[in-house]
Amino acid sequence: MHFGVFDLFKIGIGPSSSHTVGPMKAGKVFMDRAIADGLDIARIETELYGSLALTGLGHGTDTAVLLGLEGNDPAKLNPDTVPDRLARIRQENTLKLANDREIPFVEKQDLDFRGDIRLPFHSNALKFRVFGPGEDLLREEIWYSIGGGFVIDEHEAGRNSAADVKEGEPYPFNSAQELLDIGERTGLSIHRIMLENERAFLPEDTIRAGIEGLWRTMEDCIDRGLRQDGILPGGLNVKRRAPKMFRDLKEEAKNPTDDPLAPMDWINLWAMAVNEENAAGGRVVTAPTNGAAGIIPAVARYFDRYHRDPDDEEALQRFFLTAAAIGSLYKKNASISGAEAGCQGEVGVACSMAAGALAAAMGADNHQIEDAAEIGMEHNLGLTCDPVGGLVQVPCIERNAIGAIKAIDAARLALRANSEDMKVSLDQVIETMRQTGLDMMEKYKETSQGGLAVNVVEC
């Protein structure tokens, strides 16, 4: 089963890949199928379960479902148009389907949050029902949003794979050890192994251009986050901190001090700028999720600004291809879903991906890359997902800044270590992360029923 660069990195809108991007995609695909099958659609009902219901309002799941049912693609949707689209749906009590048919839709009746029900396969579940003109049930389907914007229906869940799964890459790997073995056998670096696998499905020029496009989108997101002042939506009255921090750092740069840790301020800034944009519903790149979207852009910009040789045109390609290789191991063998594994599955995975990617960009060998990725996760094990108010704001925004710093430290530790002295492998830490997620109490897995979510007074 191949998970590639453009599976792990997807352009979408905030605030959540599993609670916003995934449900929007599920709604769109469900309706596209219903329309293609010629169903005489008169009414639609949607039920949300588990984590989608418990934190759905804070994560924009209601918005996502409405937009998805109208046929919107999160990768193409302009987030600036969302308020007007929602206002029209709610004022007119209608949905405009992709086939231009208009049907009645009363949100309080047709969109139900069932936080008391958790379906066995995954906490992020939703059910769609389509009714005909005589209120006869035409179709009913259960869908799961399994993290990082990935969605599968109940039939695919039974097979534990998506219908469009890709196979046939020249260097298949399902563990870090297999990845290292391929490198030993072929002499290929991890990023080159990943590139060769990607080439089984896309031309190399398309792959490279796609990676450049992802990087440009990340850069645009950082820069927009540095400009946008104001209060984040959702009711917590969280103020955007990145713009003021940016202005302060620019002013301090005019009178530089001997502070050796000054670059840390910029790394924190870049990560927070992305996640403030995400919290505001802006355009972000899932990396591998929206809740952890700031870590990889911040680390990549750190490398680009402080370490990249201007003549090394391959550096950022190495970075993203390596990050995707590492991320695919978590996707295959553990989870990238906060509702399934806690925040170790989001910030922890992003930190691990960024650490290995930075090591690769700085010229590390395959074993050092594996060491960096392992260190990045080892010190995020057990990290809970307990968003205050069900919003991707507290502690999520600052947590991305800390995750970016951890990733850089992990890469630097790995580059100075002897791999033979390392006692924990990446495969071992991924399995530990999976087991920890299973053992973690449900209230710490994106339900807002434990941790900071119940101990911080909302005001």
Per-residue pLDDT tens over the stretch 356-396? 999 999 999 999 999 999 999 999 999 999 999 999 999 99
Show Cβ contacts of residue 150 under 8 Å, excluding neighbours closer than 6 positions.
Answer: 7, 22, 162, 331
Q: The whole model's pTM is what?
A: 0.94
Contact 422, 371 (CB under 8 A): yes
Residue 64 has pLDDT above 90, yes or no: yes
Residue 162 has pLDDT above 80, yes or no: no
Residue 141, classed as helix, strand or coil, is strand
Mean pLDDT (whole number) for 387-415 = 97
Of 233, 341, 249, 349, give the one whose Cα is nearest residue 290. Answer: 349
**Residue 257: predicted pLDDT:** 81
Residue 134 has pLDDT above 80, yes or no: yes
- Res. 164 pLDDT band, cuts 50 70 90: low
- Res. 419 pLDDT band, cuts 50 70 90: confident
3-state helix, strand, coil in the chain (%, to 5): 55, 10, 35
Residue 163 has pLDDT above 70, yes or no: no
**Residue 458: predicted pLDDT:** 58
- Whole-angstrom distance, CA of residue 68 vs CA of residue 14: 14
Contact 50, 119 (CB under 8 A): yes
- pLDDT above 90 covers what percent of the chain? 92
Mean pLDDT of the chain: 95
Mean pLDDT (whole number) for 432-451 = 97
Q: For residue 262, give both structure tokens.
A: 């000054």
- Res. 96 pLDDT band, cuts 50 70 90: very high
- Whole-angstrom distance, CA of residue 72 vs CA of residue 27: 9
Mean pLDDT (whole number) for 307-336 = 96
- Whole-angstrom distance, CA of residue 249 vs CA of residue 268: 11
For the stretch 41-52, pLDDT in tens is 999 999 999 999
Residue 28 has pLDDT above 80, yes or no: yes
CB atoms within 10 A of CB 142: 18
Residue 227 has pLDDT above 80, yes or no: yes
Mean pLDDT (whole number) for 337-345 = 96
Mean pLDDT (whole number) for 208-233 = 97
Helix ranges (H only) for 187-281 are 190-198, 204-227, 242-254, 262-279
